[in-house]
Amino acid sequence: MVQTLEKQQYFYAFSKENKVGLRVPSGAQVVVETFDCFQDQIQSTETEFNSIDWNQINPATGAIFVEDAQPGDVLKVKIDNIELGDSGVLATGPGLGVMGHRIDEFTVKMVPIVDGKAVFNERVKLPLNPMIGVIGVAPEGEPVPCGTPGAHGGNMDTKLITTGATLYFPVFQEGALFGLGDLHAAMGDGEIGVSGVEIPGKVTVTLEVLKGKSIPFPFLENEEGAAVIVSKETLDEAAKTAVEIFVDTLLPHTDLTLAELTMLFSAAGEVQVSQIVDPLLTARFVVPKSILEAYDVKLFG
pLDDT, one tens digit per residue, over 166-181 is: 999 999 999 999 999 9
Please give the mean pLDDT across all residues of the chain.
Answer: 97
- Pseudo-torsion of CA 235, 237, 137, 129, nearest 10°? 30
Say which DSSP state 128 is in: P
What is the per-residue pLDDT for 260? 98
pLDDT tops 90 at residue 1: no
What is the per-residue pLDDT for 105? 95
What is the per-residue pLDDT for 203? 98
Strands 74-84 and 60-66, by their bridges, are unpaired
What is the per-residue pLDDT for 65? 98
Q: Report, as an integer, the average pLDDT of 102-125.
A: 97
Task: Indicate yes or no: pTM above 0.85.
Answer: yes
Q: Report, as an integer, the average pLDDT of 81-100.
A: 97
Q: Report, as an integer, the average pLDDT of 141-151.
A: 98
Q: Which amino acid is at 14?
A: F
Q: Report, as an integer, the average pLDDT of 5-17.
A: 98
What is the per-residue pLDDT for 204? 98
Closest CA to 59 of 21, 95, 28, 97: 21
Which region holds residue 39: left if phi is over 0, alpha if psi is between -120 and 50, else beta? left
User: Alpha helix (H) ranges present in the chain?
Assistant: 235-250, 258-268, 289-294
What is the per-residue pLDDT for 49? 86
Handedness of CA 76, 140, 283, 269 (dihedral sign): negative
Q: Report, as an integer, the average pLDDT of 246-252.
A: 97
pLDDT tops 80 at residue 301: no
Q: Report, as an integer, the average pLDDT of 25-43.
A: 97
By the 8 A CB rule, do 231 and 280 touch? yes
Q: Report, as an integer, the average pLDDT of 30-44.
A: 96
